[in-house]
Amino acid sequence: MTITPPPPTSLAGLVEAYADTTAAAVRLGEQAAPEAADLPTDCPGWTVLDQLRHIVSIEGMLLGDPLPDVDVSGRAHVRSAFGEVIEKYLEGHRARTLTEVVEDLRQVRDQRLAVLSAPGLTLESETVGPFGPTTLGALVGLRCFDIWCHEQDLREALDVPGGMDTPAAANAVSRMLHGLPKVLSAGALTEGEVVVLDIVGPVQASFAVTVRADEAGRLRGHVVDAAAVPSAATRIGLSTRAFTRRAAGRWALDRVDAVVSGDDALAERVLQALVVTP
């Protein structure tokens, strides 16, 4: 699979993508009118200001901020233990205004970039992420992905398009595509069926998935060469925006403008399953 433009693979490239998407979030917060702080976003339960609070709080967590001792029970959008942790960190910034949170984000961004740019670090350097011990490359790629998704949440709510042709966008498309074999093996495809997703831009890619049974009879998704897939195979064309909004769980199917050739029912099952974020 080729993604154009290619996602960053070096630590320096990942850090640059992280710096770019966090800077975009800062700019969006700076440019937002005070009354825009309470606008709802595509991320359930969160306003524009909550999006910024979330980015600040998780980056602060990675810098060692303690978990706030607050009650977040009873919130419909909190559906897991990890989601509760995320919400508690956000709640710790609840008293901060839009102006204050933007300044907090600017400062925490500078601190994180100083940590990530320290001499001697590599992709394999050991660190601790939101889910426990990991490598620095994995952590920066994950944070770049998460922050870019929230950058897009902000852009959608504030009606400020952009950021779809950046290294962070390519990183997000790559991570989402590589999550598809798992989600499509859970019923969207039957054994032997193949589907090709054509992401048509600004980030472009063709990605083909099939499902085969393993030795235990369990269905597993597999990536196949999109160029070698028969012309009669079902193909789904999506813009970068539509694909990433759907794969991030932000858009319902009625908001997704897809161009389908082949089996319409199969394509609908795939689009229904096309959510790779928790």
Neighbours of 127 (CB within 10 A): 16
Residue 76's pLDDT is 59
C-alpha torsion sign, points 232, 212, 225, 17? positive
- Per-position DSSP letters for 120-136, written without gaps between them: T--TT-EEEETTEEEEH
pLDDT one-digit tens code per residue, 187-223: 899 998 999 999 999 999 999 999 998 888 888 999 9
- Per-position DSSP letters for 221-274, written without gaps between them: EEEE-GGGS-TTSEEEEE-HHHHHHHHTT-S-GGG---EEES-HHHHHHHHHH-
Quick check: 53 and 87 in contact, CB under 8 A? no
Residue 178's pLDDT is 94
Residue 77's pLDDT is 65
CA distance 132 to 68: 18
Two tokens at 38? 């309470």
Residue 131's pLDDT is 85
Residue 130's pLDDT is 85
pTM of the predicted structure, to 2 decimals: 0.92
CA distance 117 to 125: 12
Q: What domains does the chain contain, in order, with CATH numbers? A: 11-162 (1.20.120.450), 179-273 (3.30.1050.10)
- Smallest CA-to-CA distance from 176 within 238, 246, 235 is with 246
Per-residue confidence in pLDDT tens, the chain, 278 aa: 789 999 999 999 999 999 999 999 999 999 999 999 999 999 988 899 999 999 998 998 899 877 666 666 666 565 666 666 767 776 767 778 999 999 999 999 999 999 999 999 999 999 998 888 999 999 999 999 999 999 999 999 999 999 999 999 999 999 999 999 999 998 899 998 999 999 999 999 999 999 998 888 888 999 999 989 998 899 999 999 999 999 999 999 999 999 999 999 999 999 999 999 87
CA distance 125 to 140: 11
- Per-position DSSP letters for 68-119, written without gaps between them: P----TT-TT--SHHHHHHHHHHHTTTT--HHHHHHHHHHHHHHHHHHHT-T
Residue 71's pLDDT is 65
CA distance 182 to 235: 18
Q: Is 33 helix (H, G, I), strand (E, B) or coil?
A: coil
